[in-house]
Amino acid sequence: MEINVNKVQSFKGGLTPKILNDFRNINVKKVEEDFSSVGVDARFLNNKFISGSSVLVANILNEISGKYKLPFDFLPFSIRAYDDKNLVCDTLEKCRGFCITDTKCVLNGEGPFIGTSLFFNNSLLKFPILESINTTINALLNNMSSSHFLQTFFHEWFHCIQNNLIYEKYGYEGKCPVLRAKYYKPEANGLYITQEKDVITNFLLNPQIREQVCKFVSKYAGKTCLYSEFFAELMSKITINSLDSKLNPIKNPLDNIPKGLPLPLKEYVEKILNI
């Protein structure tokens, strides 16, 4: 899937004044229409940074998928820019973004949204706030796997990719009729992956393993002890590290998996990706 928008070739890896200027030239309405043409309900509240970043990540992952035969070419059902005041649950306030794994209401007056939908904070990821934090973006993301300006978008996208791969392999056993129709798998044993998740989660609770995850992936991944956050952090890190300064994939992201990462975690990633 290639979304038909202008992918600016002069983008750099970091959030530079040139990139900020390039984002200002994005036609948000056109981006929403292009996402709609490939089945994604996208509404960005005229936020150029969120819309532009979403296009970049979608196109980068699609290119990686084709180039390296990886299952990254997944598109969420919806992408929303939101304001904190519209959240149903106030525990998500001040988050840069989040993904939902199952269908539910998360925004007042909208939804329910289908599982594997993405949400990005309109207040924290917009101009002119981004310009004011340009020099301190490393501090903003110091617990995450990368200080790259696309880190939040890759992270949340990989949550969706992981859930899609799990549902495809093991089936969906929830109540959402849309997801049940898409991921119907009568022979799948849903408990199998649940038990596997528990094994990985318990493994991540080991203090020595947590220390290694903090070292090789991110402090956030090591502190949360959640298999889902470990996966999203690792995959966003190795994907970002596979891009050149113009955001072109020049290396298979899996070649960037840290050599010191504990073997059970590597095996878990391989199993999720079916490699």
- Using one digit for the tens of pLDDT, what is the confidence trace for 67-118? 999 999 999 999 999 988 888 876 665 678 899 888 999 898 887 999 999 9
Is there a cis peptide before residue 71, judged by omega within 30 degrees of 0?
no
> How many Cα neighbours within 13 Å face the side chain of 175?
3
Closest by CA position to 77, among listed 154, 2, 157: 157
Q: In terms of pLDDT, which residue wins out, 127 or 96?
A: 96
Q: CA–CA separation, 152 vs 132, rounded Å?
A: 18
Is residue 125 within 8 Å of residue 86, measured between CB atoms?
Answer: no
Could you tell me the pLDDT band of residue 242, with boundaries at 50, 70 and 90?
very high
The 10 Å CB-count burial string (b at 16+, else e) for 260-271 is: ebbeebeebbee
Could you give the C-alpha distances from 203 to 23, 196, 226, 237, 263, in angstroms and in order? Answer: 42, 11, 10, 21, 11
Q: Return the ∠ at Cα 226 (arms to 66 and 93), rounded to 5°.
A: 90
128 burial via Cβ count (<10 Å: 0-12, 13-18, 19+): exposed
Q: Which two tokens stand for residue 170?
A: 């093991």
Assess if residue 208 is contained within a domain.
yes
pLDDT band at 2 (very low <50, low <70, confident <90, very high): very low
Q: For the residues 251-259, what does the mean pLDDT come to?
A: 94
> Which has more pLDDT, 141 or 216?
216
Whether omega before 112 lies within 30 degrees of 0, making that bond cis, reads yes
Name the residue range of residue 250's domain: 17-273
User: Hey, is 38 helix, strand or coil?
Assistant: coil
Q: Confirm whether 11 is domain-assigned.
A: no
163 occurs within a structural domain: yes
**Using an 8 Å Cβ cutoff, are 203 and 251 in contact?**
no
Segment holding 147, helix H or strand E: none
On whether residue 117 sits in a domain, the answer given is yes
| pLDDT of 255 | 95
5 is a domain residue? no
Q: Does 7 fall in a domain?
A: no
pTM score, two decimals? 0.86
pLDDT 10s digits, 21-41: 778 888 999 999 999 999 999
Q: How confident is the model at residue 128 (pLDDT cuts 50, 70, 90)?
A: low
From CA 237, how far away is CA 116, in angstroms rounded?
A: 21
Asked whether residue 3 is assigned to any structural domain, the reply reads no
Strand partners, 82: 121
Residue 214 lies in a domain: yes
Exposure pattern of 86-107 as b/e (b: 16+ CB <10 Å)? Answer: ebeeeeeeebbbbbbbebbebb
**Angle between the N-to-C axes of helices 151-170 and 227-240, in degrees from 0 to 180, rounded to the nearest 10:** 120
Give me the number of domains the chain comprises. Answer: 1
pLDDT digits (tens, 9 = 90+) for 141-165: 557 777 788 888 999 999 999 989 8
Confidence label for 10 from pLDDT (cuts 50, 70 and 90)? very low
Q: At 264, is the pLDDT very low, low, confident or very high (cuts 50, 70, 90)?
A: confident
